[in-house]
Structure 1
């Protein structure tokens, strides 16, 4: 066991009624490895706007001390200037807490993580564990993400955990599956998946931010291209500033579509357990946890082959859409629902095997074998 861990991230954090809350999937991940440490300092962004967000989860561990930085971000010139002006303040806070740590864990791509990565070249008497959640394929990354990826590629004195398996992957960059499932989830999922019938009408689900970058517009367009009688329900789980326009575009579905907003893990899993297909035609990804969570319940992915998704999803366990190809996503979804029931059942069984790679137990075993050995 190590004594002190400092986590540097841009994770949404807020204090409500004297209790700190943070983005649920990250809290779950922290809970899985907190037993390895005596003390944990968690640096994230203060997000009071998330107080009613059901995806936020209470941080209950007494080991954790939270430091909430002032949130930064934006795409305008003024926003960029504000970010630069905040860098010295963030640097001081991050540097001070790194000096106290035995292990430093950064969660990139993010501004706080980038600062910590740069510090790692100066302060080498730590165990550095950088997590890069974006795609390792630099061609699909925004400019600042590419910079962070390139710096991490050169940080050979550290360990970097990444999504997928890449040609010419540096030795210090380790392929990891991001955990999101318990062994109980796997057991329950196998029972539910085994009882599913893959005949129409179908239940479709999407989990993520409601935005064109995640393919929300493509999903609605594709659903227009299949018979309405083939659709039992469409669950759109997530939120975004364009939600109203998506609701208007999906009006043709009537009460067959539900915009849920962000939900906690239990409710997300409940909806995925009813789903036949998980839809995610996004522009760029590392590897979305939603695919693994859907796979746990036999929800067949109909997804874009970006990032490391194609390293896990094949024609044997899902439907891959080539975002740069000539075939539209609508055609891929049409093919999915027209596939024979027996074949869909086989694919649902195959995708269950994928889910087992994304358990917290598997994650801890990887950490101990590859990072802390």
Structure 2
């Protein structure tokens, strides 16, 4: 089988290998275990290989370079207009050669590939939609357009579209899927942390965690406010923040102004092992994000019995079973503090929630992910 990938991920060529964004490459290498030939169609950059980058692993891999393009402004759209003939031609020729078309969406390259694949109704196809599939959510027009094409059984045929979560009013093209971070061998016995409410003679810490980019979209500032409000109500709390971003200065200034240095600790970017240890030692993960695809940190925290408290975006309600495996933030500080207090004050509720979260997340291992990919490719190969 000749497997063709259409992706917006920027690639780097070094010493005969093709590198790209690590989490994406790691996932694609699982797919590549079960195909004979690979053709990658995507943009190429001259930057250095970064620490987070990984290389594709396949002995018969070809790379088709396409020009970088953007649709973020009028001037960029105008430039893209003149690049369209090349973009369409390269993708068309690639699709004609391939046996299986694999689209990575949403993204600029995915948008063009969504249009070109219409010309190949009999080709076997899969698409990984790595964003928020919620049709009701506010998203860029290009994202909505890609979802419309992929969901349309007249325009898009012989396609399995892998989306995060389960959604109503979807066509037969749509298939709920997932992403994994840990394997079966990573599973270790974890004792659910006790939640001991502080009293006159008891000051056990309740440990909160934030993992992610310190950006406006992830809203780390709200996580700080939430923990501060609990502290003001007499709870012994800490918040460990892992990540960097343009909001760090704002968060740091607030921590200093509010005398929260002993309560909120900014760790910056740390390796996976350090973050894993933080999951294992924390009671709650806070994710007040504006938008998510598959919130990896939520699944990772749950894997280690750390209860997620996150906004109701994308597939988060599905992941936390609408409050049975974690909490849902309303982004109303008073309400969210009250909901957390309800959980903190009843240790039995917390323990049940943490146990359910861990049991659910541990179903979705890398081993299971690979078996599902293998089954999907075998099933598609029969068509």
Q: Report the TM-score, using the length of structure 1 for normalisation.
A: 0.85
Equivalent positions of 1:251-330 (< 5 A) are 251=256, 252-254=259-261, 256-261=264-269, 265-313=272-320, 314-322=322-330, 329-330=336-337
Distance 1:215 1:69, change over 3 A: farther
Shift of residue 264, structure 1, vs aligned partner = 5.1
Partner residue in 1 for 2:207: 203
For residues 45 and 283 of structure 2, the distance between their equivalents in structure 1, rounded to whole angstroms, comes to 34
Unpaired segments ≥5 residues, structure 2: 197-203
SS at match of 2:136: helix
Contact 1:204 1:278 in 2 (8 A): yes
Contact 1:293 1:355 in 2 (8 A): yes
For residues 321 and 151 of structure 1, the distance between their equivalents in structure 2, rounded to whole angstroms, comes to 32
Contact 1:129 1:371 in 2 (8 A): no
Partner residue in 2 for 1:246: 251
Unpaired segments ≥5 residues, structure 1: none
Max Rg structure: 2
Shift of residue 146, structure 1, vs aligned partner = 0.9
Equivalent positions of 1:92-241 (< 5 A) are 92-140=89-137, 141-154=139-152, 155-185=156-186, 187-188=187-188, 191=189, 193-194=190-191, 196-199=193-196, 200-227=204-231, 230-237=236-243, 239-241=244-246
Does structure 1 residue 342 correspond to structure 2 residue 352? no
The one of the two structures with greater contact order (alpha-carbon pairs below 8 A, sep at least 6) is 1
Distance 1:364 1:18, change over 3 A: closer
Larger helix proportion, structure 1 or 2?
A: 1
Shift of residue 111, structure 1, vs aligned partner = 0.9
Contact 1:281 1:329 in 2 (8 A): no
Contact 1:29 1:360 in 2 (8 A): no
Give the length in aligned residue pairs: 362
For residues 21 and 339 of structure 1, the distance between their equivalents in structure 2, rounded to whole angstroms, comes to 49
Partner residue in 2 for 1:90: 87
For residues 235 and 315 of structure 1, the distance between their equivalents in structure 2, rounded to whole angstroms, comes to 24
Runs of 4+ in 1 over 6 A off after TM superposition: none
Q: Report the TM-score, using the length of structure 2 for normalisation.
A: 0.83
For residues 326 and 219 of structure 1, the distance between their equivalents in structure 2, rounded to whole angstroms, comes to 10
